[in-house]
């Protein structure tokens, strides 16, 4: 028998006793003397000394524990730590150790991983890896003993702090203290803000953390919070849920007084508008005043992630483009924060090509639409005076529901109904809170948008083929949308106007995909990860553009909250031709739609 085999046999022999396992686990937490160990095991010195010495000798011979020559106390050896770590993994793999589930601040749930505690202690508190590992093991055992259904990051941090105090490591505990968010994160955010040079960035990021946790732990019901965290629904933007809106649209001012009014309002509420500030040019008088607003707002008031969009008729844009460029060219880098929504009426190939050349030459972003109610990213927002807001987006993760349905369509439809009711509850409660906070100061209609994430892939999951290649799949797709639309009609009108949009917020789509990526086939991975926010991905393999146009127009006919699609390809001429065909077909639906021409890498 080899030396290695003898060592393994000796180790296994040492682990064959529950008493020796207890000794090993006790010493993995901290060093203990002979008497301290006996007391911890509940043994009596006079009665159990022989038995205890026997167990101790076994562990010393197997080199699982050792004596610290400086203190004279026993401690677990490197071999012992390795054995304990592998025993822990074995218990989890065999299912004999209950899996701990953690709800993280990034709006996801995942299995407990003590290495994250170790990394945090090393990074944030500057502990040694060995000491950090020792603390993490103690915390893990305490968490198992708590038998909580699912844990939260704040609870784990609180327990880590308690263990640090118990071990007399107060100075390290102080470094992990939370002031709304961990001190380490605050310091990191300050460094980031010092580079950007805008303290509003600090105010926004710090308040996001507080709002997200407040909503999940207090404002939303336990069931709704769990549905959001498990990715069955998505509430966007949760970290701005009670204090702001996604987009705001203004009618372009016709006089100087209105210019100053809009400037003052945008400056005062820039933290509360999450993404898009839109100005709609109703007539030519508003152009000059809109350019004044652009010069002031874009260079001074827009935070990161915000942009200013201008809705303009195609003819007005072409006629005034040189003057527009002359006024905004002085904005230098800030020009990237401006987007254009061009309202066109059945564009010809030559008209669209000319329009595209204008924007390509000036390196400006644009979309084309059939409606002046369309925003840059395709959502529909009817304009009230003086302004209108889209408050939030509720998304149903249809792909996950389909994966869980075992191809049972009745089950799928029932889950759609149940989760839609959860969404209604969250949106209604938000509306009541918003009205309570703002009262008569906010007399406008509250607009919400709902979306279906993974619709096409959900149908493919059930029938095995994409809906544009099978009548059966196509029929199921129509049935799902019709059923969902009928459910949306049940939303109480006094709590706001809820419409169905075609796109999911990109950050929401990214979060939802992260939660289901391990369940998705590799063939669909790239398509869903890069274009999952769209109902129909531009890289979908249609036989021709006519087939795509018919498929998308069929979906768009149900969408009252704005249909959004992207045209991309390898050749510019082909992209423009496809956009014209899509525009013509989508126009037949009579619903508002937006087309983005993506020219990345196109010559």
CA distance 73 to 68: 6
Across 294-308, 365-379, 535-549, the highest mean pLDDT is recorded for: 365-379
Residue 136, pLDDT above cutoff 60: yes
Structure tokens at 6: 């003898």
Residues 120-143, mean pLDDT to the nearest whole number: 88
Q: Which residue has the higher pLDDT, 445 or 412?
A: 412
The predicted pLDDT at position 98 comes to 62
Q: Which helix (H) or strand (E) holds 337?
A: none
Backbone φ, ψ for residue 193 (5° rounding): -65, -35
E strand residue ranges, 131-208: 151-152
DSSP result, 50-115? HHHHHHHHHHHHTTSEEE-TTT--EEE-HHHHHHHHHHHHHHHHHT-SPPPEEEETTTEEEE--HH
Across the range 103-113, mean pLDDT stands at 70
Structure tokens given for 363: 């390196």
Torsion of CA 486, 492, 494, 499, to 10 degrees: -40
At 333 the pLDDT is 62
DSSP string, 558-602: T-SS-EEEEEE-S-HHHHHHHHHHHHHHHHTT-S-EEEEEE-TT-
Cis peptide before 289 (omega within 30 of 0): no
Percent of the chain with pLDDT over 70: 92
Q: Which two tokens stand for residue 248?
A: 């705001």
The answer for residues whose C-beta is within 8 angstroms of residue 242's C-beta and 6 or more apart is 211, 215, 219, 430, 433, 434, 437
Mean pLDDT computed over every residue of the chain? 86
Nearest to 238 by CA among 429, 110, 107: 107
Structure token pair of residue 378: 């395709």
| Each residue's pLDDT tens digit, 289-328 | 888 888 777 766 677 788 889 999 999 999 888 888 887 7
Identify the DSSP state of 386. S
Helix and strand counts by DSSP (H, E) for the chain: 24, 16
- Counting residues of the chain whose pLDDT is more than 90, the rounded percentage is 38
Q: What is the pTM of this model?
A: 0.74
Distance CA(380)–CA(556), nearest Å, equals 13
Query: What is the structure's pLDDT at 551?
Result: 94
Q: Please check whether residue 483 is in contact with residue 416, taking contact to mean a CB–CB distance below 8 angstroms.
A: yes
Token pair belonging to 476: 């199921």
Residue 140's SS3 state is helix
pLDDT of 99 reads 64
Q: Which residue, 497, 554, 263, is CA-closest to 380?
A: 497
Neighbours of 332 (CB within 10 A): 9
- Answer yes or no: are the C-beta atoms of 317 and 325 closer than 8 Å: no
* Rounded Cα distance, 365 and 356, in Å: 10
Per-residue pLDDT at 286 exceeds 90: no
- Helix (H) / strand (E) containing 93: helix 78-94
String of DSSP letters for 31-45: -B-HHHHHHHHT--H
Mean pLDDT across 222-234: 92
Higher-confidence position of 398 and 304: 398
Q: Which of 538, 539, 537, 532 is nearest to 505 (CA)?
A: 532
| Domain edges within the chain | 3-92, 98-177, 389-403+423-598
Arithmetic mean of pLDDT, 591-596:
96
195-226 pLDDT, tens digit each? 877 777 787 877 887 888 888 878 999 899 99
317-322 own/partner pairs: CB under 8 Å, 24+ apart: 317/342, 317/355, 317/358, 318/354, 318/355, 318/358, 320/284, 320/287, 321/358
pLDDT value of residue 599: 66
Question: Does the pLDDT at position 603 exceed 50?
Answer: no
- CB within 8 A of 527, min separation 6: which ones? 537, 539, 540
Q: Which residue has the tokens 């199921």?
A: 476
CATH architecture of the domain covering 3-92: Orthogonal Bundle (1.10)
Is 345:314 a contact under the CB 8 Å cutoff?
yes
Instruction: Indicate whether 435 pLDDT > 80.
Output: yes
In this prediction, residues 375-402 reach a mean pLDDT of 93
Q: Name the one residue in this structure whose structure tokens are 């439809």.
A: 413
| Weakest-pLDDT range from 81-90, 161-170, 369-378, 455-464 | 81-90
**Per-residue pLDDT for 5 more than 60?**
no
Task: Name the band, by pLDDT with cuts 50, 70 and 90, for residue 408.
Answer: very high
Return the pLDDT at 104: 66
What is the helix, strand, coil percentage profile of the chain, to 5?
60, 15, 25
**pLDDT value at position 380?**
96
More confident residue, 325 or 486: 486
- CA 550 to the chain's CA centroid: 32
pLDDT at 601: 45
Return the H-helix or E-strand segment holding 455: helix 455-463
Integer Cα distance of 232 and 227 in angstroms: 5
Q: What is the per-residue pLDDT for 3?
A: 39
Work out the average pLDDT over 508-516.
92
Mean pLDDT check: name the lowest of 104-118, 229-243, 342-356, 544-558. Answer: 104-118
Q: Among the listed ranges 174-188, 536-550, 582-596, which one has the minimum average pLDDT value?
A: 174-188
Taking Cα atoms as reference points, which of 427, 442, 432, 444 lies closest to residue 393?
427
Distances (CA, A) of 182 to 177, 190, 577: 6, 13, 53
| Distance (Å) of CA 34 to CA 23, 24, 74, 384 | 11, 13, 8, 79
The confidence score (pLDDT) of residue 4 equals 42
- Give dist(CA 349, CA 549) in Å, integer: 16
């Amino acid at each position: 028998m080899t030396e290695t085999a003898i060592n393994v046999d000796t180790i296994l022999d040492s682990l064959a006793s529950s008493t020796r396992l207890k000794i090993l686990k006790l010493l993995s937490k901290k060093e203990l003397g002979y008497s301290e160990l006996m007391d911890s095991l509940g043994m009596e010195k006079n009665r159990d000394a022989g038995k205890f010495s026997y167990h101790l000798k076994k562990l010393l011979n197997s080199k699982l524990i050792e004596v610290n020559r400086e203190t004279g106390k026993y401690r677990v050896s490197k071999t012992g730590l390795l054995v304990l770590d592998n025993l822990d993994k074995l218990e989890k793999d065999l299912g004999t150790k209950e899996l701990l589930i953690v709800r993280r601040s990034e709006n996801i749930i995942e299995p407990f991983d003590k290495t994250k505690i170790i990394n945090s202690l090393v990074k944030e508190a500057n502990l040694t890896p060995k000491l950090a590992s020792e603390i993490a093991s103690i915390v893990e055992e305490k968490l198992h003993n708590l038998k909580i259904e699912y844990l939260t990051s704040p609870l784990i941090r609180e327990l880590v702090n308690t263990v640090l105090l118990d071990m007399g490591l107060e100075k390290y505990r102080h470094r992990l203290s939370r002031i709304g968010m961990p001190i380490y994160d605050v310091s990191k955010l300050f460094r980031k803000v010092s580079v950007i040079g805008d303290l509003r960035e600090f105010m926004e990021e710090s308040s996001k953390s507080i709002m997200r946790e407040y909503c999940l732990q207090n404002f939303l019901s336990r069931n709704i919070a769990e549905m959001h965290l498990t990715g069955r629904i998505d509430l966007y933007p949760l970290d701005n849920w009670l204090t702001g809106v996604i987009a705001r649209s203004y009618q372009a001012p016709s006089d100087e007084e209105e210019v100053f009014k809009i400037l003052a309002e945008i400056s005062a509420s820039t933290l509360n508008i999450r993404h898009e500030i839109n100005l709609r040019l109703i007539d030519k008088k508003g152009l000059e005043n809109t350019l004044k607003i652009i010069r002031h707002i874009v260079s001074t008031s827009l935070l990161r992630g915000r942009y200013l969009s201008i809705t303009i008729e195609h003819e007005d844009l072409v006629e005034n483009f040189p003057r527009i460029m002359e006024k905004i060219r002085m904005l230098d880098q800030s020009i990237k924060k401006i987007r254009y929504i061009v309202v066109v009426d059945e564009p010809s190939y030559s008209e669209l090509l000319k329009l595209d050349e204008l924007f390509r030459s000036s390196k400006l972003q644009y979309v084309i639409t059939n409606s002046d109610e369309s925003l840059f990213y395709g959502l529909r927002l009817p304009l009230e005076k003086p302004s209108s807001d889209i408050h939030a987006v509720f998304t149903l993760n249809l792909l996950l529901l389909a994966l869980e349905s075992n191809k049972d369509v009745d089950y799928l439809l029932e889950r759609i109904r149940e989760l839609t009711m959860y969404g209604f509850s969250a949106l209604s409660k938000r509306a009541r809170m918003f009205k309570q906070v703002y009262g008569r100061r906010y007399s406008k209609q509250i607009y919400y948008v709902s979306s279906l994430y993974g619709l096409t892939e959900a149908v493919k999951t059930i029938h095995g083929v994409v809906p544009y290649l099978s009548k059966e799949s196509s029929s199921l797709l129509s049935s799902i949308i019709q059923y969902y639309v009928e459910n949306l009609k049940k939303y109480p009108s006094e709590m706001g106007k809820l419409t169905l949009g075609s796109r999911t917020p990109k950050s929401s789509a990214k979060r939802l995909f992260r939660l289901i990526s391990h369940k998705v086939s590799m063939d669909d991975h790239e398509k869903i990860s890069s274009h999952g926010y769209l109902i129909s991905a531009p890289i979908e393999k249609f036989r021709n553009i006519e087939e795509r146009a018919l498929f998308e127009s069929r979906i768009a006919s149900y969408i009252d909250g704005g249909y959004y699609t992207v045209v991309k390809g390898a050749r510019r001429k082909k992209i423009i031709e496809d956009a014209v065909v899509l525009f013509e077909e989508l126009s037949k639906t009579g619903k508002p739609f937006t087309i983005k021409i993506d020219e990345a890498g196109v010559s």
